Amino acid sequence: MTNGMGEWDDELEDSRIDIDPAEDEPELFYTNVAEFVSGKLAPTYRRQLNVQGGVTWCPQWWKHAEAISRLEALWRAWEFLRLDGTTGISVWWRDHADHHMNVLLSADGPFKGCSPDDGHRSKLVPLPCEEPPEGLF
């Protein structure tokens, strides 16, 4: 009596065991977000910085939780989309870089209070949160 699987099913199952998922993963171009920011983003995304409420940037961006999260998202999206030889980089600029960089560089963004000359001076506090009623979620 058979288990309902043909011979080819047994062979397919055996071949799946031998597959190394790491082989299919492309190698990262930048090994971490800091390398991506200094090696790709900063030299490419050039802007005139203005400490009087215009475009802001903190040279110690890694001291800002929101910046870390957004820049990590930019890096991961870039690593994925760079492999698309058709519109990948255009999609990255339109859907990722321009969106996140507009937020990061905005006068009221996470770098508010910092300056490229004086560095990290942010005194922004987390959004206030209260515990939700028990059982709500």
47 falls within a domain: no
Give 15's pLDDT tier (boundaries 50, 70, 90).
Answer: very low
83 falls within a domain: yes
81 falls within a domain: yes
Q: Measured between alpha carbons, how far is 129 from 28 in angstroms, rounded to an integer?
A: 37
pTM comes to 0.75
**Number of domains into which the chain is organized:** 1
| pLDDT tens for each residue of 54-97 | 888 999 999 999 999 999 999 999 999 999 999 999 999 999 99
Q: Percent of the chain scored above 90 by pLDDT?
A: 58
User: What pLDDT score does 119 carry?
Assistant: 79
Say which residue, 23 or 14, is predicted with more confidence. Answer: 23
User: What pLDDT score does 28 carry?
Assistant: 97
92 falls within a domain: yes
Range of the domain at 66: 62-116
User: What pLDDT score does 81 carry?
Assistant: 98
User: What pLDDT score does 50 carry?
Assistant: 74
